[in-house]
Amino acid sequence: MIQIVDHKQFVLDNRPIQQFILDRLPGNYDIYFGTLDKALQRFNTVLLRLSEDPLLAEENNLEVIDCQKAIHDFYNYSLKLSHTNNWFMKIYYKTCLHGIGTRRIPKIRKLLDRLGN
The tens digit of pLDDT for each residue in 48-78 reads 999 998 888 889 999 999 999 999 999 999 9
Q: Roughly how many angstroms between the first and final C-alpha of the chain, as a whole number?
A: 27
Q: How many other C-beta atoms lie within 10 A of the C-beta of residue 3?
A: 9
Residue 107 lies in a domain: yes
1 within some domain: no
In a domain, 108, yes or no: yes
87 assigned to some structural domain: yes
pLDDT of residue 103: 96
**Could you list the residue range(s) of the whole structural domain that residue 17 is in?**
7-116
Would you say residue 6 has pLDDT above 90? no
pLDDT at residue 2, as a whole number? 56
As for how many domains the chain has, the answer is 1
More confident residue, 54 or 88: 88
66 in any annotated domain = yes
